[in-house]
A = this chain, B = another copy of it.
């Protein structure tokens, strides 16, 4: 019912706490970076900061709140101005940093998000963050809104656009991670997977699926957002972030539609 962000971190009375929300968030983040979300248990987090499980409940009402702390901590890794770390506690207007169109501003944010997702893969598996975000998430929202400032969208549509944009980036990051994972699994299963899919495809049902699969199985990668294990000619490890890798291209096309004025006609190809 009540979010952790509505409670003060510490009340006036009583002894000064030996730990803090930030310390818990950092410890949990380290655990998750190494062992995934499953490695974040009350006992492991407590041990990481040198205390017992019961003590954690002085800082956090529930394990899910630890995950919220982690999410906001990750949101704090955005750098909004070139090489100038933001200070979200200081009352200052965020820099208006989009020198060009909103699309390039969104792309820049998306590339940062991609790096963050790569750095912390557990972020993708995190369940839907509660409606009330933490201070870093608010700063992020503010920044996206600033980028959308020159758009023709009206005020109420902008908040929704922020949500859609954030979800889109998350979706693309998840797609990339799945592809990488699928590549490894494909190498493991081999025969089993082939037998399964081929049995489903070979006898004539699912003709379109057969075409799509055969289209990628043979060499000759087409280059445009290939769905295979590692897109592109050579299996680049995390993604090149160039101006025309699959991530940027797909996102650009989607955003073009999302940012277009509602009355515009879709280009019937």
Residues of A within 8 A of B (CB): 1-2, 5-6, 88, 91-94, 101, 103, 124-125, 127-128, 131-132, 135, 138-139, 141-142, 145-146, 148-149, 151-161, 163-164, 167-168, 171-172, 174-175, 178, 181-182, 185, 188-189, 192-193, 196, 200, 203-209, 211-216, 221-222, 224-228, 246, 249-250, 252-262, 264, 266-269
Which B-chain residue is minimally distant from A253 (CB atoms)?
Answer: B257
New A-B contacts (18) at CB < 8 Å, excluding given A91-B204, A155-B222, A259-B269: A1-B189, A5-B196, A92-B205, A93-B205, A132-B196, A142-B207, A145-B208, A157-B227, A160-B227, A160-B246, A161-B225, A164-B171, A164-B254, A224-B262, A250-B258, A256-B267, A257-B260, A260-B269
Beta-carbon nearest neighbor of A260 in chain B? B267
In the assembled complex, 18 residue pairs joining A and B whose CB atoms fall closer than 8 Å, in A order, are: A1-B189, A6-B193, A91-B204, A93-B204, A142-B206, A142-B209, A154-B215, A154-B222, A155-B216, A156-B215, A157-B226, A158-B212, A159-B227, A167-B171, A224-B262, A249-B262, A253-B257, A256-B267
| A155 to chain B: closest residue by CB | B215
Whether B262 and A207, one on each chain, are in contact in the complex, defined by CB atoms closer than 8 angstroms, is: no
Q: Closest CB-CB distance, A69 to chain B, in whole Å? A: 16
Q: How far is the CA of A211 from the CA of B159 in the complex (A)?
A: 10
Task: Using CB atoms, name the residue of chain B closest to A213.
Answer: B159
Q: A154-B224, A167-B171, A215-B155 are in contact. Are A256 and B257 (CB under 8 A)?
A: yes
**CB of A227, distance to nearest CB on chain B (Å):** 4
Contact status A212-B155, CB under 8 Å = yes
CB-defined contacts of A178 to chain B, threshold 8 Å: 128, 131, 163
User: What's the minimum C-beta distance from A222 to chain B, rounded to whole angstroms?
Assistant: 4
Chain B: CB-nearest residue to A150: B269
Please, how many angstroms separate the alpha-carbon atoms of A124 and B208 in the complex?
A: 27
Q: B258 near A254 (CB under 8 angstroms)?
A: yes
Q: Which residue of B lies closest to A135 (CB)?
A: B200
State in angstroms the CA–CA spacing of A83 and B191 once bound together.
Answer: 38
Residue on B nearest A1 in the bound complex, by CB? B188
B residues near A267, Cβ cutoff 8 Å:
256, 260-261, 264
Query: With A163-B227, A208-B149 in contact, is A125–B125 under 8 Å at CB?
Result: no
A142: contacting residue among B138, B157, B208, CB under 8 A: B208
- Closest CB-CB distance, A197 to chain B, in whole Å? 8
